Structure 1
Amino acid sequence: MSRRMTDEEWQAFLMEGTRTAKVGTVLRDGRPHVTPVWFVLDDGDLVFTTPGDSVKARSLRRDPRVCVCVDLEEQPFGFVMLEGEAVLVDDRDAVEEWTARIRARYAPAASVASTAPAKADAYNRPPGLLVRVKPSRVIAVSYDDE
């Protein structure tokens, strides 16, 4: 049986474990573009970083409308979908701070300070932009028996 989640429930759902968000933007020609991102919540905003030259960044600069979906892929299933507008922040200190917070959630071992150069992986490249999704609509459904 499905039921709507409360605000507290959907926020807890989003921050549980290391679920990725699927971020949908609109390309210049109107086609949808969906990519997975690592994220955290900050006072109701969904926050992620992205390289400044990514398709996602270019799309959001042109059209800040965004749809984000996070789902539980096993029983009892469930999902949270956020619609809203993205606010882009290119302040380097803010980008670095939030990148560290996000990395601590998804790759805690990589968050430990090290004197070795950062490994060149998808999350260690310069992120460029901080993206704050300010939800205007939330649909959050749980398929549990409660």
Structure 2
Amino acid sequence: MTTNPWLAGPSPTRRLERDRLEERILNLLSSQNMCVIATTGRDGAPHATPVRYFHLGFELVFTALGTSPKIRNLRADPRVSAGVFAPLVGQASSRGAQLFGTARVLEPDDADFGAYWPVVRWQSDHVERSRPLDEPPLGTIAVITPDRIVYTEHWLRREGYAPRQTLNL
């Protein structure tokens, strides 16, 4: 007996309507909080780092020390990719997104900082560290703005859609 017979055979090739694809991607970004970002180091070597992210639409926002390797790499070369994924139980539960684009490193005195800082949920970290909630830890943030997102969800095959969909922004 096959658990998920709709996974057998060739993958469908039908594309999701743009609004449905956007909704699925936003659902994934809203239901997860960790991703792996890939940057390029000074020597050209790839550097992949797990980070906790927040999102504003399709943009990912994360905090980091301004001297960290990932921030140093982004300052030198803003090209970036990020992988967001849901826990995998089996092929039927496979769901994730690869975001390809550029990143901006913002400091508290940058003009755009105020547009992104409110999505950073720093309060739980402060509580965990017994720090006062009236002293926000304003520091370096990075904003990843994708120009392309490759979304994978094998459950789409049940409805006759390709499990891999691309959103160009």
TM range (shorter): 0.7 to 0.9
TM norm structure 2: 0.66
1:8 aligns with 2:23: yes
Work out which of the residue numbers 84, 92, 107 in structure 2 matches 1:90.
Answer: 107
Gap regions ≥5 residues in structure 1: 119-125
Partner residue in 2 for 1:46 = 60
Q: Kindly indicate whether the alpha-carbon contact (under 8 Å) linking 1:46 and 1:132 is maintained by their aligned counterparts in 2.
A: yes
* Higher RCO (CA-CA < 8 Å; seq separation 6+): 1
Distance 1:8 1:41 in 2: 14
Residue aligned with 2:66, SS: coil
**Quick one: distance in 1 between partners of 2:104 and 2:83?**
18
Query: How many residues are treated as equivalent by the alignment?
Result: 132
Is 2:39–2:79's contact at 8 Å kept on the other side of the alignment?
Answer: yes
Q: Among the aligned pairs, what percent are the same residue? A: 29
SS in 2 for 1:15: helix
CA apart distance, 1:143:
1.2
Question: More strand by proportion, 1 or 2?
Answer: 1
1:73 is aligned to 2:87: yes
User: 1:92–1:99: structure 2 CA closer, same or farther, 3 Å change rule?
Assistant: farther
Q: Give the TM-score, by structure 1 length.
A: 0.75
Residue 123 (structure 1) aligns with: none
2:121 pairs with one of 102, 115, 123: 102
Q: Which has the larger radius of gyration?
A: 2
Q: What root-mean-square deviation, in Å, do the aligned CA atoms of Structure 1 and Structure 2 show? A: 3.0
Q: CA deviation at 1:138?
A: 0.5
